[in-house]
C-alpha cells in the first residue's frame, strides 16, 4: 500500500456533483492529490478535517474565459493575483485569453505561460492561443505548434475576425485537431466608437451605442461557417436574445457550436449605466431585461453550455476615465458564484444543481479537461461554500489588483469558505 503523505476529510456537507448525479449529504475523503471516497459516512483518521455541516461541497469551479494580463500588463493583474482571486471565488481551473502584450500567438509563449502557471501553483491555469498572428485577422497563428505544447483552445477574443475567408481557413485547419475556436462576435463596423447598448438609454445618456444586431450578425455568419466546415465553434460572452435563438436553431441542426454567458449579462441591464461610473462598461455591453431572460432560458435548456466570468481587470485610473474612453471590463472571479446564487438560485429561477453543472462539468466536458467532477480517482479540486452566508461586496478587499466592480456595495447571499486544488487548501475564508 502506498504511503499517504496527506489526507483531508470533508464531513457532513451537501455534496453536489452533477457529473455523477450526486446531490446528498455526504463525506468526501481526499488522499494526497485525488478523491479517495465519497460516501454518506466515512470513518477515516485524516490528517485534517473540515466540518461542512450546512455547507455545499462541489467540484472546483471552472472558468474558460479570464484575462490575467500576463505578459505585458502586469500592473492590471498577473498570474499570482489572478489565481488568488480565482481561489477566493471557488475556481480551481481557469483559461487565460491571449490578447496580451505581446499576443500569445506562438508555441514559445504558450510554453512560457504554462511554466509561469506552474510556478504560481495555486490553481490550474490553462492557456488559450491566438487564432491569428497578433490577433490582426490577416494570417493564421502557429496553431498546430501551440496545440502540441498544450494550448486548450484558440481565440482572437477582443476582436471579431472580419474576413470570412480567414475564419474559414482557421476552421479547416483546426478541424483535424478537434480544437475549439472561441469567437468574440461583434460585426466591427456596427460597433465602432460605441460604449454601451444601443437603446433609448444610450440616446438619453448621449453615449454612442453598440447594437445587439452586431452580435447577431456575427454569430449568424459563424454558425453558417461552422456548419460548412464541420468544425467546433464556441461563442464567447453571448449577450443578445436573438443570438440565443440563432445558436439554438443551429444546434438543433446538429452543428458543433457551443456558447457561454457571464453573470453580468445574466443579472444586470443597461438601466444601471451611469456615464460618470465606467465600472458598468463591458464588451459586449449590458443589454435589456429581455436579453437577460433569454440568456437564462438558453442556459436552462442547454443552448448555452457554460458560465464564464470574463474577468477583465484594469488599473483604477483607467476606469476613472470618461465612460466612452475607459476600457471595458471588470474583475469577476470573486463575486461570480455569489451573484448567481443570490440572483438566480435564491429567487428560484435556476436550480443549484444546474448552476453548478454550468460552472463545473459542462465546461470540463466541452473543452476536454480532467476536471469538474468528484469521481473517485479524479484530481482533488473542490470548492465549499455556505449558501446562507450574507456579505457585502467590498472591492477594496479583492485579491485581484483591480479594486472596482459594478457589484461593489451589493449585499449577496452565499460565499466560498474553502477552495482545495490538487488536494491542497489554497483558500480559506
* Residues 131/140, Cβ–Cβ less than 8 Å: yes
Q: Is 367 left (phi over 0), alpha (psi -120 to 50) or beta?
A: alpha
Q: Strand 61-66's sheet: what is its strand order?
A: 61-66, 91-96, 124-129, 153-155, 181-183, 233-235, 257-261, 306-307
Active site residues: 310
Nearest to 193 by CA among 60, 384, 325, 300: 325
Strands 56-59 and 34-39, by their bridges, are: unpaired
The single residue listed with the C-alpha cell 485537431 is: 177
Cell numbers for 256, please give them: 458543433
- The number of CA neighbours under 13 Å toward the Cβ of 280 is 15
- Give 257's strand partners: 233
Nearest to 207 by CA among 275, 149, 265: 275
Q: Degrees (nearest 5) of the Cα angle 281, 202, 317?
A: 30
Cell numbers for 383, please give them: 470548492
Other CB atoms within 10 A of residue 251 CB: 18
Q: Determine the Cα–Cα distance for residues 279 and 312; give it in Å rounded to an integer.
A: 11
Q: Determine the Cα–Cα distance for residues 68 and 83; give it in Å rounded to an integer.
A: 9
Q: What element of type H or E holds 214?
A: helix 212-229
Q: Three-class SS of residue 386? A: strand
First vs last C-alpha separation in the chain: 35
Amino acid at each position: 500500500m502506498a504511503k499517504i503523505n496527506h489526507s483531508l476529510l470533508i464531513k457532513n456537507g451537501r455534496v453536489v456533483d452533477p457529473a455523477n448525479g450526486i446531490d446528498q449529504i455526504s463525506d468526501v475523503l481526499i488522499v494526497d492529490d485525488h478523491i479517495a471516497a465519497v460516501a454518506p459516512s466515512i470513518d477515516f483518521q485524516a490528517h485534517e478535517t473540515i466540518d461542512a455541516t450546512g455547507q455545499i461541497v462541489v467540484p472546483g469551479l471552472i472558468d474558460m474565459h479570464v484575462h490575467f494580463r500576463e505578459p505585458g500588463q502586469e500592473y492590471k493583474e498577473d498570474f499570482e493575483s489572478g489565481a488568488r482571486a480565482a481561489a477566493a471565488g471557488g475556481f480551481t481551473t481557469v483559461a487565460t485569453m491571449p490578447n496580451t502584450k505581446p499576443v500569445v500567438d506562438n508555441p514559445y509563449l504558450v510554453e512560457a505561460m504554462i511554466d509561469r502557471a506552474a510556478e504560481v501553483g495555486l490553481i490550474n491555469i490553462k492557456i488559450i492561443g491566438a487564432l491569428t498572428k497578433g490577433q490582426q485577422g490577416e494570417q493564421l497563428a502557429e496553431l498546430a505548434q501551440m496545440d502540441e505544447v498544450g494550448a486548450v483552445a484558440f481565440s482572437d477574443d477582443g476582436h471579431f475576425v472580419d474576413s470570412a475567408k480567414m475564419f474559414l481557413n482557421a476552421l479547416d485547419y483546426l478541424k483535424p485537431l478537434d480544437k475549439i475556436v472561441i469567437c468574440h462576435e461583434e460585426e466591427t463596423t456596427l460597433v465602432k466608437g460605441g460604449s454601451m447598448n444601443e437603446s433609448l438609454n444610450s440616446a438619453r445618456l448621449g453615449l454612442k451605442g453598440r447594437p445587439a444586431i452586431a452580435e447577431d450578425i456575427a454569430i449568424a455568419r459563424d454558425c453558417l461557417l461552422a456548419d460548412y466546415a464541420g468544425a467546433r465553434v464556441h461563442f464567447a460572452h453571448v449577450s443578445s436574445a436573438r443570438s440565443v435563438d440563432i445558436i439554438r436553431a443551429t444546434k438543433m441542426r446538429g452543428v458543433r457550436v457551443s456558447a457561454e454567458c457571464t453573470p453580468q449579462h445574466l443579472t444586470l441591464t443597461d438601466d444601471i449605466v451611469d456615464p460618470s461610473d465606467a465600472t458598468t462598461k463591458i464588451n459586449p455591453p449590458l443589454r435589456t431585461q429581455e436579453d437577460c431572460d433569454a440568456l437564462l432560458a438558453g442556459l436552462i435548456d442547454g443552448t448555452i453550455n457554460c458560465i464564464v466570468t470574463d474577468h477583465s481587470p484594469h488599473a483604477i485610473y483607467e476606469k476613472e476615465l470618461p465612460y466612452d474612453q475607459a476600457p471595458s471590463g471588470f474583475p469577476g472571479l470573486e463575486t461570480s458564484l455569489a451573484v448567481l446564487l443570490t440572483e438566480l438560485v435564491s429567487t428560484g429561477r435556476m436550480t443549484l444543481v444546474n448552476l453548478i453543472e454550468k460552472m463545473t462539468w459542462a465546461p470540463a466536458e466541452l473543452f476536454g479537461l480532467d476536471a469538474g467532477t468528484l469521481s473517485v480517482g479524479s484530481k482533488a479540486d473542490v470548492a465549499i461554500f455556505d449558501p446562507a452566508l450574507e456579505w457585502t461586496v467590498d472591492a477594496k478587499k479583492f485579491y485581484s489588483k483591480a479594486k472596482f466592480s459594478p457589484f461593489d456595495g451589493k449585499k449577496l447571499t452565499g460565499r466560498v469558505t474553502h477552495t482545495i486544488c490538487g488536494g491542497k487548501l489554497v483558500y480559506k475564508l
